[in-house]
Chain A
Amino acid sequence: DSGVTQTPKHLITATGQRVTLRCSPRSGDLSVYWYQQSLDQGLQFLIQYYNGEERAKGNILERFSAQQFPDLHSELNLSSLELGDSALYFCASSATGTGDGTQYFGPGTRLTVL
């Protein structure tokens, strides 16, 4: 158990809908990262927050947004969903916002868009 929790575990929805994925980092970790894992693209970095502020942005679509709240939990919002958004979405956390900080991954949320 990494100490990172993600809810829900599975999500099934229809095209055009909007969903919210939630992540609680390990106790004391200030940085949260979101990754998308799909068969064709592999594991791709989406976005990072550090202590409530956006720190780095990766291949995140404009239809997607995220935020980190004062209690350090984070939410990833996916809207106008398309079939191609079906994937595993992982959240990771680290104590620091720098590269030498180990990232601990949650169990993921499997999103299926029908």
Chain B
Amino acid sequence: AQSVTQLDSQVPVFEEAPVELRCNYSSSVSVYLFWYVQYPNQGLQLLLKYLSGSTLVKGINGFEAEFNKSQTSFHLRKPSVHISDTAEYFCAVTPLTPLVFGKGTRLSVIA
């Protein structure tokens, strides 16, 4: 079975500072990897996904993630965060169809 561990439940960061949200996964088969963002009182929005090819994936809103197969990680990064990035971020994996989500990381951007 697949599992996802998001290593930090909360990450506070000052505006314009860089941020990294960590995600590790466990799977005995090849997986597809996703990062979703959930703004308060809203549904989940896809930030980026890794299916194959280049291990560095660029997404929306200036976010990027790097797939590292040997470390089974898919960390999300942004070089300079804005107040509007305050939200819950979910890492997810799927070998086939249903997504297996991590517990989420709450990113709080401080002015």
Please, how many residues of chain B have a CB less than 8 angstroms from a CB on the other chain? 23
* B96 contacts A105, C-beta separation under 8 Å: no
Query: Looking at the complex, which one of A33, A44, A45, A90 makes contact with B43 (CB distance below 8 Å)?
Result: A90
For chains A and B in complex, what number of residue pairs have CB atoms within 8 angstroms? 56
Q: Which residues of B contact A48 (CB under 8 A)?
A: 97-98
Could you pull out 16 A-B pairs where Cβ atoms are within 8 angstroms?
A4-B43, A42-B104, A43-B90, A45-B99, A48-B97, A48-B98, A55-B97, A56-B96, A99-B94, A99-B97, A100-B32, A103-B99, A105-B36, A105-B43, A105-B44, A108-B43
In addition to A4-B43, A31-B97, A45-B98, 18 A-B residue pairs with Cβ atoms within 8 Å of each other are A2-B43, A43-B90, A48-B98, A55-B97, A56-B97, A58-B98, A90-B44, A99-B31, A99-B32, A99-B96, A99-B97, A100-B51, A101-B97, A102-B34, A102-B49, A104-B46, A105-B36, A105-B43
